């Protein structure tokens, strides 16, 4: 069957409409196709979709499929309630609407993205204080003893803290710091070490017996350790004290003993 062609007179539009004129398809003399009412179809082929008043339009490039927007107003994408925007295969949600709030999901922001001051971005960070712990150390074996950092002052950005250790919420490089303040520190040790123990590696700082040269009896001392470490998501990090020689007499003090960390950058 040959195509049926309807042509308007010169200078006039071609209009197909219902009886009431509430829904219609109009081919204007300039070549535009205007639709009044809802459009129900599986495929629409067009290079330029215009608003009814012609002030704004979406433009689809023929060769690349790029979508552009032109007009004198902002581009607004209205999501249905509890709706979202997905990747091309429909399996991964990128944007989610819920209760009037929109959440960006499964998306990595590179270093060129600027976040405005009105958008709160909370990076993982924590600050924990130690509890008093008596007779710390295992001078016989020299094995590390986990210190009781268990009073959470702040824990932000999705990480968890339990059993004296922090669990990272995301993969990245983290700055980890600890101070351990001891009273009754033995003056007969061979060496003392403070350790950052994490899933991927251990960072250790060791002090030798020269610490004891000016102390005829047990004394009070503070140790500090700090390092950037790599933590994968769900990796843990804790602080340990190790001692070689001497007696297990050191008492960890709550005052001035802190364990802290924050995400420096993701990887």
Residue carrying the six token digits 């195509």? 3
pLDDT band at 115 (very low <50, low <70, confident <90, very high): low
Q: Would you say residue 83 lies in a domain?
A: no
What is the tens place of the pLDDT at every residue in 201-218?
999 999 986 777 778 889
pLDDT at 158: 92
Of 76, 96, 111, the position where a domain reaches its end is 76
φ, ψ at 63 (rounded to 5°): -85, -35
Residue carrying the six token digits 């979406």? 58
Q: Indicate whether 72 pLDDT > 80.
A: no
Q: Are residues 261 and 149 in the same domain?
A: yes
C-alpha dihedral (22, 27, 32, 34), degrees to nearest 10: 10
Q: Would you say residue 237 lies in a domain?
A: yes
Q: Would you say residue 160 lies in a domain?
A: yes
Number of domains into which the chain is organized: 2
Percent of the chain with pLDDT over 70: 73
Q: Are residues 54 and 173 in the same domain?
A: no
CB 197 within 8 A of CB 147: no
User: Residue 256: which CATH number?
Assistant: 2.60.120.40
Q: Indicate whether 1 pLDDT > 70.
A: no
Q: Would you say residue 91 lies in a domain?
A: no
pLDDT at 168: 96
Q: Would you say residue 117 lies in a domain?
A: no
pLDDT band at 88 (very low <50, low <70, confident <90, very high): confident
What residue numbers bound the domain in which 160 lies?
125-266
pLDDT at 110: 61
pLDDT at 179: 97
Q: Indicate whether 192 pLDDT > 80.
A: yes
Q: Are residues 69 and 139 in the same domain?
A: no
What is the tens place of the pLDDT at every residue in 90-106?
777 877 777 767 777 77
Q: Would you say residue 92 lies in a domain?
A: no
Q: Would you say residue 151 lies in a domain?
A: yes
Percent of the chain with pLDDT over 90: 42
């Amino acid at each position: 069957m040959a195509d049926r062609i309807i042509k308007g007179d010169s200078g006039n539009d071609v209009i197909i409409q219902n009886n009431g004129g509430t829904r219609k398809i109009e081919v204007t003399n300039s070549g535009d196709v205007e639709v009044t009412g809802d459009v129900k179809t599986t495929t629409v082929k067009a290079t330029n979709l215009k608003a009814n008043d012609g002030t704004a339009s979406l433009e689809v490039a023929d060769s690349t499929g790029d979508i552009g927007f032109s007009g004198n107003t902002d581009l607004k994408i209205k999501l249905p309630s509890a709706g979202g925007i997905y990747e091309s295969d429909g399996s991964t949600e990128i944007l989610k609407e819920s209760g009037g709030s929109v959440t960006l999901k499964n998306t990595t922001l590179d270093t060129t993205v600027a976040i405005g001051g009105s958008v709160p971005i909370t990076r993982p960070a924590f600050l924990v204080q130690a509890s008093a712990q008596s007779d710390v150390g295992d001078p016989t074996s020299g094995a590390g003893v986990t210190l009781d950092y268990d009073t959470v002052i702040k824990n932000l950005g999705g990480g968890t803290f339990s059993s004296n250790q922090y669990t990272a919420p995301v993969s990245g490089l983290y700055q980890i710091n600890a101070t351990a303040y001891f009273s009754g520190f033995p003056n007969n040790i061979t060496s003392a070490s403070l350790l950052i123990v994490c899933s991927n590696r251990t960072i250790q700082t060791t002090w030798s017996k020269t610490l004891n040269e000016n102390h005829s009896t047990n004394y009070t001392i503070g140790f500090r350790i700090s390092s950037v470490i790599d933590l994968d998501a769900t990796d843990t990090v804790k602080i340990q004290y190790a001692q070689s020689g001497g007696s297990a007499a050191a008492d960890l003090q709550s005052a001035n003993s802190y364990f802290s960390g924050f995400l420096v950058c993701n990887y």
